[in-house]
């Protein structure tokens, strides 16, 4: 692994101003002070429920949005201003909906040919056709010739997403950003898609960001995990550490409500967040809670959690978390009982 990251978000914040019908406005604090490094040949998963800020983070890295504060660095160089074509070649974003990503009136051949022309204007039509077949076979659409003349509506969801990935590869990227790339696919092919992403990072040395609400799929494919809650990064580190020994109560909730690893990719969004929803809605990003944003839902919350944002604490081996339990010498409580048991205990104490 190269020690220098290919792509980094450094302390990025994104606020959106939303205007109401009567001329009023409000600020949505979508992402606050988030940092991530993507290295060649490694996969970082960003996990969280809807509204956690993970998609906004991916879009800042893809330069669809400018950060309100902080910076994006490609190969160590800060990028700003209008994104260049070279940037979009190096950093490719794969969306959740493969059907919306492909031009429905054009055949697969056209969708790939356009990307190949952008990549190398000197390539002849015959070379582009040969390369398009190669790319299709790279993503296991074989024989590639059979797919060139199909329209997107003639393909299954999984085949369409493979074409989207082949098109992303056509421009020779260094980084792939997958924004829930498997969540709209049939459960039977999600594992195949994860295996494809894994193969691409190993064979092509791509740096990958994998955005997901499903910590079980993150466990299957990634090297490192970052957990986001209400616009903030609350925990991160090597996946085995984070998932085996969550150091933040929210991560513990995600891990306990995720399915057995043997059912990777088969969990539904509703199933995963059943427990989380029993705790109430995630907070508003217009007026997020003071202090730790998780405190209204946290069974371990203390007085200071309601007013002071917890600092980042390193818990060893590259694993870190933002939770006051670590500063208070109470971090062991996270591992001592299930999240549900801690919640029951809190409710009993409140009633007593
Ligand atoms: Fe819970 Fe407090 Fe830790 Fe936030 S800082 S996760 S409220 S214990």
Are the C-beta atoms of residues 319 and 247 closer than 8 Å to each other?
yes
d(CA 239, CA 228): 14
Question: Is there an atom of ligand 1 within 6 Å of 300 CB?
Answer: yes
Does residue 62 sit in the same domain as residue 26? yes
Q: What is the mean pLDDT of residues 163-173?
A: 93
pLDDT at 291: 96
Domain-located, residue 228: no
Does residue 216 sit in the same domain as residue 278? no
Question: Is there an atom of ligand 1 within 6 Å of 294 CB?
Answer: yes
End-to-end CA distance of the chain: 54
Q: What is the mean pLDDT of residues 56-74?
A: 96
pLDDT above 80: residue 275: no
Give the number of domains in the chain: 2
Q: Which atom of ligand 1 is nearest to the CA of 299?
A: 1
Q: What is the mean pLDDT of residues 316-320?
A: 96
Are the C-beta atoms of residues 116 and 124 closer than 8 Å to each other?
no
pLDDT at 269: 41
pLDDT above 50: residue 312: yes
Please report, rounded to a whole number, the percentage of residues in the chain having pLDDT higher than 90: 68
Does residue 286 sit in the same domain as residue 325? yes
Does residue 128 sit in the same domain as residue 15? yes
Question: Is there an atom of ligand 1 within 6 Å of 295 CB?
Answer: yes
- Residue 180: how many other CB atoms lie within 10 Å: 21
- In the DSSP assignment, the letter for residue 309 is P
Nearest-CA residue for ligand 1 atom 7 is: 295
Nearest-CA residue for ligand 1 atom 5 is: 323
Does residue 127 sit in the same domain as residue 194? yes
Does residue 135 sit in the same domain as residue 253? no
Q: Which two tokens stand for residue 183?
A: 């969540």
Contacting residues for 60 by C-beta, under 8 A, at least 6 apart: 9, 12, 14, 31, 66, 67, 72
Residue that wins the pLDDT comparison between 91 and 263: 91
| CA 221–ligand 1 middle distance (angstroms) | 28
Domain-located, residue 229: no
| CA 13–ligand 1 middle distance (angstroms) | 22
- Residue 328: how many other CB atoms lie within 10 Å: 14
Q: Which atom of ligand 1 is nearest to the CA of 249?
A: 6
Does residue 197 sit in the same domain as residue 139? yes
Domain-located, residue 119: yes
3-class SS of residue 302: coil
Backbone angles phi and psi of 227, in degrees to 5: -105, 130
Domain-located, residue 1: no
**Among candidate residues 30, 17, 118, the one with its CA nearest the CA of residue 70:** 30
pLDDT above 60: residue 296: yes
Question: Is there an atom of ligand 1 within 6 Å of 229 CB?
Answer: no
d(CA 220, CA 241): 14
Contacting residues for 21 by C-beta, under 8 A, at least 6 apart: none
pLDDT above 60: residue 266: no
d(CA 82, CA 118): 18
Range from 175-179, 262-266, 334-338 that averages highest in pLDDT:
175-179
pLDDT above 60: residue 342: yes
Q: Which two tokens stand for residue 338?
A: 């299930």
Question: Is there an atom of ligand 1 within 6 Å of 343 CB?
Answer: no
Are the C-beta atoms of residues 339 and 299 closer than 8 Å to each other?
yes
Backbone angles phi and psi of 20, in degrees to 5: -85, 175
pLDDT at 83: 86
Question: Is there an atom of ligand 1 within 6 Å of 243 CB?
Answer: no
Does residue 333 sit in the same domain as residue 189? no
Backbone angles phi and psi of 179, in degrees to 5: -95, 95
Which domain range does residue 323 map to? 245-351
| pLDDT tens digit sequence for 102-131 | 889 999 999 999 899 987 888 899 999 999
SS (H, E, C) 327-350: HCCCCHHHHHCCHHHHHHHHHHHH
Q: Which atom of ligand 1 is nearest to the CA of 248?
A: 6
Are the C-beta atoms of residues 26 and 205 closer than 8 Å to each other?
no
Does residue 313 sit in the same domain as residue 207? no
- In the DSSP assignment, the letter for residue 198 is H
Q: Which atom of ligand 1 is nearest to the CA of 310?
A: 5
| pLDDT tens digit sequence for 75-85 | 999 998 888 88
Q: Which atom of ligand 1 is nearest to the CA of 300?
A: 8
Q: How confident is the model at residue 267 (pLDDT cuts 50, 70, 90)?
A: very low
| CA 229–ligand 1 middle distance (angstroms) | 12
| pLDDT tens digit sequence for 278-290 | 566 778 899 999 9
Question: Is there an atom of ligand 1 within 6 Å of 320 CB?
Answer: no
pLDDT at 185: 83
Beta bridge partners of 79: 72
| Mean pLDDT computed over every residue of the chain | 89
Please report, rounded to a whole number, the percentage of residues in the chain having pLDDT higher than 70: 93
pLDDT above 70: residue 1: no
Nearest-CA residue for ligand 1 atom 3 is: 323
Question: Is there an atom of ligand 1 within 6 Å of 60 CB?
Answer: no
Does residue 192 sit in the same domain as residue 103? yes
């Amino acid at each position: 692994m190269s020690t220098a990251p290919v792509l980094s978000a450094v302390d990025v914040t994104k606020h959106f101003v939303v205007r109401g019908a009567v001329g009023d406005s409000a600020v949505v604090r979508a992402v606050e002070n988030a940092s991530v490094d993507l290295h060649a040949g490694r996969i970082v998963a960003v996990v969280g429920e809807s509204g956690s800020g993970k998609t906004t983070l991916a879009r800042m890295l893809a330069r669809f949005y400018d950060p309100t504060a902080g910076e994006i660095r490609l190969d160590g160089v800060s990028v700003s201003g209008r994104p260049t074509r070279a940037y979009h070649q190096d950093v490719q974003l794969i969306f959740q909906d493969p059907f919306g990503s492909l031009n429905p009136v054009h055949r697969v051949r056209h969708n790939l040919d356009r990307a190949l022309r952008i990549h190398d204007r000197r390539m002849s039509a015959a070379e582009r056709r040969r390369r398009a077949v190669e790319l299709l076979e790279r993503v296991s659409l074989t024989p590639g010739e059979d797919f060139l003349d199909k329209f997107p509506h003639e393909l299954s969801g999984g085949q369409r997403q493979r074409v989207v990935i082949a098109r992303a590869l056509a421009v020779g990227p260094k980084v792939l950003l997958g924004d829930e790339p498997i969540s709209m696919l049939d459960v039977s092919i999600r594992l195949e898609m994860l295996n494809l992403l894994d193969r691409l990072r190993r064979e092509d040395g791509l740096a990958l960001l994998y955005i997901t609400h499903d910590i079980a799929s993150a466990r299957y494919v990634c090297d490192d995990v970052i957990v986001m809650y209400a616009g903030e990064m609350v925990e991160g580190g090597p996946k085995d550490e984070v998932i085996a020994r969550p150091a933040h109560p929210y991560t513990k909730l995600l891990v306990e409500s995720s399915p057995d690893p043997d059912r990777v990719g088969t969990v539904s969004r509703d199933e995963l967040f059943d427990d989380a929803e029993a705790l109430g809605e995630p907070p508003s990003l217009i007026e997020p809670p003071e202090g730790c944003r998780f405190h209204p839902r946290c069974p371990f919350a203390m007085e200071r959690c309601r007013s002071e944002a917890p600092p980042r604490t390193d818990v060893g081996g590259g694993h870190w978390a933002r939770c006051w339990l670590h500063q208070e010498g109470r971090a062991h409580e996270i591992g001592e009982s299930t999240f549900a048991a801690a919640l029951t205990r809190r409710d009993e104490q409140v009633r007593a």
